[in-house]
Amino acid sequence: MGVKSPRSGFRSLFEGSTFENAGTGTYFTGYAKPVEQTFFPGEKLDAWDKRLALNHKTSMDLATRVERKELEPNKAGRPGITLLAKLPAFDTHYGFLIPAAHLIINGLLKGFWYYVLMDYTGACPRNVLPNRARNELTKRGKRLQLPHDMGRPYVDIVKKKGTWVMENWLHWAETFCQISHPLLEEHCPDSHQAWLHLRAAVRHYLCSFDEYDNLSKDEVDQKRLEARDHVREYAKIVETKLTVQLCTMNLRLAQHLHDQEEYTGWIKDSMEFWVEREVQREKKHVKDRVVIMPETFLGNMHLLECAVQNIENDVGDMMMLPQQPGTISDHQLRDDFTSVTRLLDKGEERVIKFDFKFRLGHLRALVSKTSKHSLDEFTLLRFKSASLGGKEFTSKAYSRHQSRCSYHVCFRTTDAPSEDKYGDVVHYYLLHHRVSNERIRFCELQWFKGSGVRVQHVHKTPEETLLVLPLECIRRKVIFYPLESDHIEILPCPSKGRL
């Protein structure tokens, strides 16, 4: 370790250092073993020593000492007393939020994978993925088939990571990275362990949108502590087994995300994405126009969007509006908007005969549970897509999307998460009783053997692998990643609009 750097993080008094063979940068260690600190001469402290922690009072004391010329700004980590600090209700410690998205994605995620995939000549460095494993990773990435609404497609992390933006990195951490885990575990196990800790923290702070909805406060607090510990374990492995060059200011600030989340609420709700999204939304309206009164213009555009949305909510399907004279109405072939779960576009009328002969027993049981009418009184319509929980799902019969598909699903016939099963939706159906307008929506689904994160094709006749299930049994979309011997690995499928 070289000369002590005078700079300390604005969240604590912990100071960084310069190191030999690590360039001229300042790096922060102390995660695995205590290090010397100039604020506490003669002592060695670890990175989480409570004496190093700052709060509003200690932050103001440091700023005051800078104002009095008693302490250098670089050493205090602040230039002095800011204007906001003069407000009586402003907390100088938590009032300035850590930019978690840039810190985690552009800092920790990007830095780690650039290290693991660094270019080299000669022998492969320790904890770096060798070239033959990178070629295999490229091949694996080509087998990914995404749903149509997932956003940016996957592009090769080995060759194209320089073009990645935040959304690419977040999708990698949440979903695509699982194709690299066997390679990391085989060729660089220390990097693999570090990545598992970092990924767990990333998923908590940036991706836990629906996972904690049914947890109690104590369970949520436990999840937050686990995320804090994952960050700490990642820092220890980086310091002792990888490289000090990953012990950056971003990693140092990441140690304080737990405290910020306890004080200000979910990191995912307080990070900077919503500001950037709003800026993009306003730029969509203004574009290259010169507007005299921008606030009035943007307000009117917002009201116009609200009006169009209200009309869409009231009318639902535009095809349900009165038809022009002379046109043939196809209302009887469409689902209505009386349910959140509904079938999309125009259906095809079917006769309940041979193609449903084997599954007729399942269908009659479904009708008898939900209706007072007999199956013979219903009209059967077949559809290619459906809207479930506000998300569009397609079937294997839907041919509009060639490179993407949204018919790989997780389904459950009970409320127990352990009962999750996986399959492909073949068709969606609507049973319509035209006298009472009763509607029963269901799907025909081809199931796969097994559960958990790996399933297998079932080598039976199509009739033996098909199930007739209510649409409510479908839980979410998944990504099927083909493996050897007809096995399929299940990858989670994040909802669109996450960034």
**DSSP-assigned letters across all residues of 2-47:** -SEEEEE-TTBS-EEE--TTSTT--B---SSS-EEETTEEEEEE-T
In this structure, the answer to whether residues 157 and 176 fall within a common structural domain is yes
Residue numbers of the chain with a pLDDT score lower than 50: 1-9, 458-463, 496-499
Q: Count CB neighbours of 491 within 10 A.
A: 19
Task: Identify how many contiguous H helices and E strands the chain contains and give both numbers.
Answer: 16, 16
Residues 493 and 128: their CA atoms lie apart, in Å, by 28
- Identify whether 358 is part of a domain: yes
- Identify whether 318 is part of a domain: no
Q: Which CATH number do you get for residue 448?
A: 2.30.30
In this structure, the answer to whether residues 116 and 261 fall within a common structural domain is yes
In this structure, the answer to whether residues 257 and 109 fall within a common structural domain is yes
In this structure, the answer to whether residues 299 and 439 fall within a common structural domain is no
Residues 343 and 352: their CA atoms lie apart, in Å, by 19
In this structure, the answer to whether residues 345 and 472 fall within a common structural domain is yes
Q: Which of 400, 464, 396, 398 is nearest to 426 (CA)?
A: 396
Phi, psi for residue 478 in degrees, rounded to 5 = -135, 170
Phi, psi for residue 114 in degrees, rounded to 5 = -65, -30
User: What phi-psi label fits residue 325: left (phi over 0), alpha (psi between -120 and 50 degrees) or beta?
Assistant: beta
The CA-atom distances, in angstroms, between 274 and each of 36, 97, 346, 447 are 40, 14, 37, 39
Residues 196 and 231: their CA atoms lie apart, in Å, by 10
In this structure, the answer to whether residues 167 and 76 fall within a common structural domain is no
Contact, 261 vs 53, CB < 8 A? no
In this structure, the answer to whether residues 242 and 131 fall within a common structural domain is yes
- Identify whether 325 is part of a domain: no
Residues 465 and 452: their CA atoms lie apart, in Å, by 19
Q: Give the pair of three-digit tokens for residue 114.
A: 């650039």
Structurally, how many domains does the chain consist of? 4
Residues 311 and 316: their CA atoms lie apart, in Å, by 8
Residues 72 and 65: their CA atoms lie apart, in Å, by 8
In this structure, the answer to whether residues 352 and 480 fall within a common structural domain is yes
- Identify whether 328 is part of a domain: no
Q: Is 0.75 surpassed by the pTM of this model?
A: yes
Strands 487-492 and 438-447: unpaired
- Identify whether 316 is part of a domain: no
pLDDT of residue 131: 92
Contact, 425 vs 467, CB < 8 A? no
End-to-end CA distance of the chain: 40
In this structure, the answer to whether residues 245 and 348 fall within a common structural domain is no
pLDDT of residue 485: 60
- Identify whether 314 is part of a domain: no
- Identify whether 223 is part of a domain: yes
Contact, 499 vs 167, CB < 8 A? yes
Domain boundary among 271, 298, 321: 271
Domain boundary among 86, 113, 139: 86
In this structure, the answer to whether residues 304 and 443 fall within a common structural domain is no
Q: Which element (helix H / strand E) includes 289?
A: none
360, amino acid identity: L
260, amino acid identity: Q
Q: Give the pair of three-digit tokens for residue 160.
A: 């194209």
In this structure, the answer to whether residues 236 and 106 fall within a common structural domain is yes
Contact, 244 vs 218, CB < 8 A? no
pLDDT of residue 329: 54
Domain boundary among 209, 242, 271: 271
- Our CA angle for 133, 134, 140, nearest 5°, is 90
Q: Which of 496, 347, 469, 357 is nearest to 412 (CA)?
A: 469
| Non-local CB neighbours of 20 within 8 Å, separated by 6+ positions | 1, 2
Q: At what angle do helices 189-202 and 166-174 cross, to 10 degrees?
A: 110
In this structure, the answer to whether residues 29 and 109 fall within a common structural domain is no
Q: Which element (helix H / strand E) includes 67?
A: helix 56-67
Contact, 117 vs 161, CB < 8 A? yes
Contact, 270 vs 264, CB < 8 A? yes
Q: Could you tell me the residue range of the domain that residue 304 belongs to?
A: 276-309
- Identify whether 463 is part of a domain: yes
Q: At what angle do helices 217-241 and 189-202 cross, to 10 degrees?
A: 150
Residues 358 and 437: their CA atoms lie apart, in Å, by 27
